[in-house]
Structure 1
């Protein structure tokens, strides 16, 4: 007997520093030489060796059944070439699973990057192009020792689809 999997749609809103505050920061260009302040990325990378790299991701649609978090570091993501992209998030918490009520999706323009707070649940990046190159700042072993995933399909028979207008 097969189990039916329901799909919940998440409407992607344009990211702003205010609406993304529960999940991290949005960082835009600033004047060279500006003093460090609260608008700059507040990083937590002291638990290992930082890794800054460009990752090429290929189109995989906008549906997801799993969400991930890292509890030892912040993570910064941004697209190259000015391409818009999507990310689903849920705020950090003490539970082994994300809060379904607090999940949100954002459309992120190619002229900024996001910094995910320590423990922020995230699924993505998603986009419509064949591929997009992203820069990524995390720890060198994040995906080995600090990669915690929750499976919505397994525990809730549910997946999500990010929709943008």
Structure 2
């Protein structure tokens, strides 16, 4: 028996500090010597050993059917070499085990900034059309082992998303 799936399109908007606030922060370059303020990333990395690394991803396209969250730490992502990329997010709601379909949004991230995801923010990505993109990633050393909760929309709703 074949189950049909629906593909829901998400229109990506260029990320700004204002439109991304529900999900985390956008950090743009600042002048050297600037004092710490509200424009700096507010990190939560106190539940383990922080891990900062460069992850190489190969052509990812723009479709997804799973979305993940981490409830013990913030996560920072940014591309190297100035390459734009996409991410889909849903606001944190740590009392519920699945994201709210109505609250899923997609963003286009320019290559001159990074994003910080709030603790518990659901996220799918990074996605891109380039052959290869290197991303720096700041999370805990065991985030993907002990703090990796994934929801599969194909299983729950016969649904896949496509970022436009």
Common fold by TM > 0.5: yes
Cα deviation for residue 135 of structure 1 reads 0.2
Q: Measure the CA separation in 2 of the matches of 1:75 and 1:161.
A: 23
SS of aligned partner of 2:156:
helix
Question: 1:11-160 to 2 correspondence within 5 Å?
Answer: 11-93=11-93, 94-160=95-161
Cα deviation for residue 60 of structure 1 reads 2.3
Q: Measure the CA separation in 1 of the matches of 2:46 and 2:37.
A: 19
Q: Measure the CA separation in 1 of the matches of 2:90 and 2:50.
A: 24
Cα deviation for residue 159 of structure 1 reads 0.6
Task: For structure 2, list consecutive stretches of 5 or more residues without a partner in the other structure.
Answer: none
Cα deviation for residue 31 of structure 1 reads 1.0
Residue-by-residue CA offset, 1:129-163 (whole Å, 9 max, x unaligned): 00100000000000000000000000100010001
**TM-score, normalising length from structure 2?**
0.99
Q: Measure the CA separation in 1 of the matches of 2:29 and 2:91.
A: 25
**TM-score, normalising length from structure 1?**
0.98
Q: Measure the CA separation in 2 of the matches of 1:131 and 1:122.
A: 20
Residue-by-residue CA offset, 1:94-115 (whole Å, 9 max, x unaligned): 2100011010000000000000
Q: Measure the CA separation in 1 of the matches of 2:24 and 2:119.
A: 8
SS of aligned partner of 1:144:
helix
SS of aligned partner of 2:34:
coil
Runs of 4+ in structure 1 off by over 3 angstroms are none
- Name the Cα RMSD after superposition: 0.5
Aligned residues: 163
